[in-house]
A and B are shown apart, each in its own frame.
Chain A
Amino acid sequence: MKLSRSWLQDYVDLAGVTDDDISRAITFLGFEVEQVIRTGAPSFNNVVVGHILTRDKHPNADKLSVCTVDVGPAHGGVRTIVCGAPNCDVGNRVPVALPGAVLPGDFVIKEAKVRGEPSSGMMCSAKELTLAEDAAGLLLLSGSTEVGTPINSVLPAGDVVFDIEITPNRPDALSHLGVARELAAWFKKELRYPAVSFTPAAISANPRPDLLTSVRVLADTDCPLYTATVVTGVKIGPSPDWMQQRLAAVGLRPINNVVDIGNYVMLEYGQPVHAFDAAKLASGEIIVRHATEGEKITTLDKKERTLSAGMLVIADAQKPVVIAGIMGSAESGVSADTLDLVLEVAFFRRQSIRGTGKRLGLGSDSSYRYERGVDVHSLDEAAHRFIDLILAHAGGAVAGPIHRVGSDVPWEREITVTPGYINEKLGFDIPAAEMRAALESLELVVTEEIPTEKRGPAWTFSIPSWRDDLDRPIDLVEEVVRLYGTEKIPTSVITAPGLVGNDDPIVLFNRKVADAFVGQGFNECVNYTLRAGQEIAAWTTSTHVESLALANPFVEDQSHLRPTLVSGLLESLKLNQSRGVTASRFFETGRVFLERNGQLSECVAAAFILAEETGERSWRPREAADFYTAKRHAETIAALAGIELGRQPTSLVAAPAQGWQTGHAATAGDIKHGWTATFGLVDLAHLKALGITGKVYAGFFAIVSEKVTADADRRSYKPFSLQPAALRDLAVVVPATTSASEVQKAIAKHARAAAGAAFALESVDIFDVYTGKGVPDGQQSLAYALTFRAPDRTLTDDEVNAAFTKVQADLATAGYQIRK
């Protein structure tokens, strides 16, 4: 909201207060100053009207002139001034800054010599006086201006406009009077209300009862109070200059006296008002009612709007003429030939105005105030002020009594508070007298004062009707600290009594994943949670995609919650590749949304990608990543969530592999049971479609958020043997489709049995996978190292050999072909 300094000064004496002081005050009262705009001329000292008498070429400079200028006897009469402007012609009247003047930018004018010629002052352009952004020459003044007149007297009056943001709890500050009240409290000055002279008692007769035959309110819940006053015989014309200047300064275009006065009253009191042309009200009737479905109105902005049932309108006998509190119709408004007015000042329920405005997508200065809350108890005063200004600046006379339909909403609110309570909440002491003065300066009135034993006097304050936001003692704490000055809140040492819990396991998980992957040379990414439906369709089922859609997306490519982190990482990779940036390893942690038992579940997730095509040429190439690289990283993530992936059933991702390459990606776990992991090669066709070059391996782990647990129980130590191990190698030939883990389990089972109780099998580790010469087509040879060890002695060759022979025999019996 824009506020004019000169306007504010009508209500509070700001003489001697700088613009910066006002900005500061507004800021520390709790309203943000977004901009300070200067209009017109600033105030100048020692800048006067001068008259150029002579002009001669400067002897030493082509572009300069030496002029004599009459600045009036009070300022030294005729002076010699060197000037560079092209238009310093004889006869012109121009602003002259005399020695001692300080122009904007702290430019001090002194007696000087310019290229050897004395110069006693400076003739000024509009730019030098900050009246314009730039100027081609001197500012030429009218020939009738008197020589020697201080320049401010001939320039348009300057003003300063503060563009401030009013917080939603303070609708009372959406007016000059409201902000003036705050400034008066801050600067400890008196608040001067406008002098309102109209009183309903002053109305004598009603020569024109036909102009407004009836005012009926059919929707009294949405319109608790409606007033209408007839003024006859007005003359439409421009509003006075000072009013036009003020309105223009705060951003409103002057229209005519009646419209301008309506706006002026609204910006003065915060109470929206409206003026009808009485002649345009069919049958002279005003009906405040709800619109019928489909009713139409063409509003001031020349748009036809279709109303819905329940929208509040002001209608005449035939049609809606105003969308109540929001905007009038084009036709019912005041025009150049309007003679008689109906002045409306009303109170509408804020929810009603807000609902209608929202549904129509329509707002105005008026609806903005109604939505936030207008003080119904100031309504009559604003109405009287409206009438006063109309009579003063548009002429005419009030005809008949004010129509006043509805009843006053009772207002009575008191809050009792003690200085002790306020100081307890603040944690530092403000003197009681200062608190009371601060609250009183906001027109809170002490109605009762009872001493208390420890907390000082218990004051009961009556709260003014425009401060609906003050309801409890804590609200007065804020008022006190606001006026005390929040900048003065003392600093102190933080007190932190021992109160230490553990960080959430999710936090710990994310932190550990980041540490592990950064340690492995990955770049951490942060991608948007909201993704395009089409993007995530590549990664999950269509029903899942559908369930992830937002009700009200803002843009199409951010319409769905993400079910995976991999698609975002691929986007990051693509961006880097397309910018020619070498980077191949990315990871991310964050929330994803997965289907679980027919519902969505918010899950904690981590993912990584490894691109084969790094774009980097190396003087010594390293081994490229493959499926098993991805597997290792996936195991790392799972382990940080307490899951040993290597011990979990792992299978190839079944077709359709949704984002993953069939036969080259594997999955373990199931979100149904709390977690899931998928890792391997990203579908090559999908990569191609994305425009990513080279193979990309990836891994994705997700766990339902409530299943993320803190560190596992502390492990207990298991003794291990210090005896030497006995090693035996064993290779079996199996079909290529047989999994290594199946063979491993079979060998371990038989070896454990063969070792029996006498000693132990320590491990079975695969060390070779071979196909080719010596192994039939469609078969593979898998070689395992068996480690035997006894807890208490060195094993003899004989006993190990016996066991190993038995293992081989048992495996053969089980159908495994031992490779000799």
Chain B
Amino acid sequence: MQDQLAALLAKAAAELPALVTRPDFEAAKARFVGPNGELTALMKQMGSVPKEQKPVVGKLVNEAKTALQAHLDAALARLEAVELAARLGPAVDPTLPSPDRTPGTYHPLTLVREEMTRILRKVGFTVVEGPEVETEYYCFDALNTPSDHPARDAQDTFYLPESARFGNVSKKSSHEKYLLRTHTSSVQIRTMLKGQPPIRIVSPGRVYRRDTTDATHSANFHQLECLYVDKNVTVRDLKALLDYIFASLLGKDTKTRFRPHYFGYTEPSFEVDLSATHLPKVNKPWIEIGGCGMVDPIVFKDVGYDPEVWSGYAFGMGLERLAMLLYGIDDIRYFYQNDARFLRQFA
């Protein structure tokens, strides 16, 4: 018996390490420890072993069984390791580029717009939208731009034919013509007519001018406009807003300065210059960035606000111009060509 067990173990030790596939292993396992296996057959002989020898033989059988199981386990572990290696394949080359698509990119105008609205959001400005097709009232009349003002010329403003009908752009009077808004200031009027002060809004959006397209002009471009209406709003508050915006955008050292100017819907009116000599391609101590002023009382009257009670300021700027300054872009047309080599630079 003892010899038989030893022979069996020797056989297992010789055969099992040579196994290559899992079926071979299963067959071998059955051969050794299956119901008809050799170990099973030996164990069946236990019955014929004299009673006094049983403890000794039993111990031998158990030891042999444990040893055989260890051989089997080792063989299985070896096979599994081989199988795993086969499944994994060779090691990767970590320096190969990912063949998956390149990351997406936000358009630089979106980046600038979002950065500006984020800055303004922090001081309570809510982002509003308005229609791009406007009427003469919202774009001009309500903003103190009389009907004979040159800005309203068909030479400078795109109009829609008299026959045009818009289901969702409201008119103040039926005689009004539809046009493409020339500035986002029309949103000021719609906002003030819709609600009551205090109002603090920022309205970014697309505007249109009948202009020759060149490096600095484009048939449509984007503006961003702020309006604040409350009691006791002052010129100094307006200056504080602009200082805040551009310090947030460009760093604490950035300064703004006002130059008197004229806009029909603000009084006093100013143009805003920016001191930002570190901006790319700007070699001047001051660069013009936008227009602003205190809302003209006539505008308040027109929307039904009492100018004796309410005061406010408005500020507007071109987003393309800001983006060009921030990124050092020298041609406005690049924004509208969508060359991926351009778009990927701002991700």
Contact = CB atoms under 8 A, between A and B. Distances in A.
Closest 9 CB pairs of A and B: A427-B234, A427-B236, A30-B260, A478-B268, A583-B340, A167-B262, A518-B104, A572-B338, A501-B126
B17 interface: no
Contact of A486 (B237, B259, B336, B337): B259
Interface string B238-276: 011101100000000000011111100001111100000
A686 B58 CA distance: 87
Interface in A94-133: none
Given A499-B200, A502-B126, A503-B126, A526 B335 contact: yes
B131 A602 contact: yes
Contacts of A504: 126-129
A490 B236 contact: yes
Given A28-B259, A475-B267, A550-B159, A576 B127 contact: no
B56 interface: no
B133 interface: yes
A487 interface: yes
Given A504-B127, A524-B105, A622-B101, 19 more contacts: A30-B260, A30-B261, A425-B235, A427-B235, A482-B260, A487-B257, A500-B124, A503-B121, A503-B127, A503-B128, A550-B161, A553-B158, A572-B337, A593-B133, A600-B166, A602-B131, A602-B132, A619-B96, A705-B131
Contacts of B123: 494, 496
Given A168-B150, A528-B219, A602 B169 contact: yes
Interface size class of chain A, counting residues whose CB lies under 8 Å from the partner chain: 35 or more
Interface of B: 96-97, 99-107, 109-110, 114, 117, 121, 123-124, 126-129, 131-133, 148, 150, 153-154, 158-162, 164-169, 177, 180, 198, 200-201, 206, 208, 210-213, 218-220, 230, 232, 234-237, 239-241, 243-244, 257-262, 267-271, 294, 296-297, 311, 335-341, 343-344
B143 to A, nearest CB: 14
A554 interface: yes
Contact of B101 (A481, A526, A585): A585
B270 A621 contact: no
Contacts of A481: 235, 260, 268
13 contacts: A425-B311, A477-B267, A478-B267, A487-B257, A492-B237, A504-B126, A522-B104, A525-B107, A550-B159, A591-B132, A599-B167, A602-B168, A619-B96
Given A169-B262, A600-B167, A551 B338 contact: no
A598 B258 CA distance: 49
A638 interface: no
A170 B262 contact: yes
**Of A29, A486, A521, A523, most B-chain CB atoms within 10 Å:** A523
A167 B129 contact: no
A30 B262 contact: yes
A689 B168 CA distance: 35
Given A514-B106, A524-B104, A582-B340, A428 B236 contact: yes
Contacts of B344: 523
Contacts of B236: 426-428, 489-490, 492
B35 to A, nearest CB: 30
Interface in A202-228: none
B281 to A, nearest CB: 20
A526 B127 contact: no
A66 to B, nearest CB: 42
A526 B234 contact: no
Given A529-B220, A585-B104, A593-B133, A351 B148 contact: yes
Interface string A686-710: 0000000000000000001110000
